Structure 1
Amino acid sequence: MQQLQNSSSSNQTESPVTAIQSWLVSQLSDVLSIDSSTIDVKQPLTRYGLDSIDAVTLVGDLEDWLDLELPSTLLWDYPTIEKASTYLVQEFDVSV
């Protein structure tokens, strides 16, 4: 079972899905220079201007963070943060 490194130690009961969502929101905010509070995990990532190059880079960073090999098309196959994070937890059995 993969263990996530939770960067916010203040919430030790954060679920794996929530931890991945938080990480993706933070990364998307940095990559696209947008306020993280404006990111809705249920909205398609393309709504925020995520292009294919940024998506592949984001997946690569996610691979490094989770120490997993992921499909480069992850964010196109699962186009919302909610869908991608749920898929990762179910498919790869990650936990916090």
Structure 2
Amino acid sequence: MAKEQGEAGAATSTAGAPDTEAVRQWLVAYIADLLEFERSEVNTRMAFGRYGLDSTAAVALTGDLGNWLGCDIDPRALYEHKTIDALADFVTANHAKLRKPGT
């Protein structure tokens, strides 16, 4: 599931890392679209597992998020950083290490 907002590029801070709030909102939109929820129904502190995301969804989500941000995100990140807030913080803090060569 490709996100339209990704086509415009990720919102970045002045240091070139993605903005945590932009990543959080991207994740909220992704989960809402995937589960056919309203964005307001997505709790950023609820574990991904509580939304019923399986390994296939984890691979798709991290792949789409990585494409949007120009980085590689291991699907295991969803299991290590179990909420939208935690994953957004992780991706923002580690963006330089996750970047794809040439991006």
| TM-score for both structures, normalised by structure 2 | 0.73
Amino acid at match of 1:34: F
Unaligned runs of 5+ in 1: 7-14
* More deviation, 59-68/35-44: 35-44
Paired residue secondary structure (2:94): helix
Q: Structure 2 unaligned segments of length 5 or more: list them.
A: 1-8, 12-17, 97-103
Q: Give the Cα–Cα distance (whole angstroms) in 2 for the partners of residues 72 and 54 of structure 1.
A: 9
User: Which has the higher relative contact order, 1 or 2, with Cα contacts under 8 A spaced 6 or more apart?
Assistant: 1
Runs of 4+ residues over 3 Å off in structure 1: none
Partner in structure 1 of residue 31 of structure 2: 28
Structure 2 equivalent of residue 10 of structure 1:
none
- Alignment match, 1:44: 47
Identity of aligned residues (%): 29
Distance 2:42 2:48 in 1: 9
Q: How does 1:48-87 map to 2 (within 5 A)?
A: 48-87=51-90
Aligned mates of 1:35, 1:49 — CA distance in 2: 16
The normalised TM-score by structure 1 is: 0.77
| TM superposition shift of 1:70 | 1.3
Higher strand content, 1 or 2: 1
Aligned length: 83
Q: Using the TM superposition, give the Cα deviation of residue 46 of structure 1 relative to its aligned residue in structure 2, in angstroms.
A: 1.4
**Residue in 1 aligned with 2:10?**
5
The amino acid of 2:19's aligned partner reads P
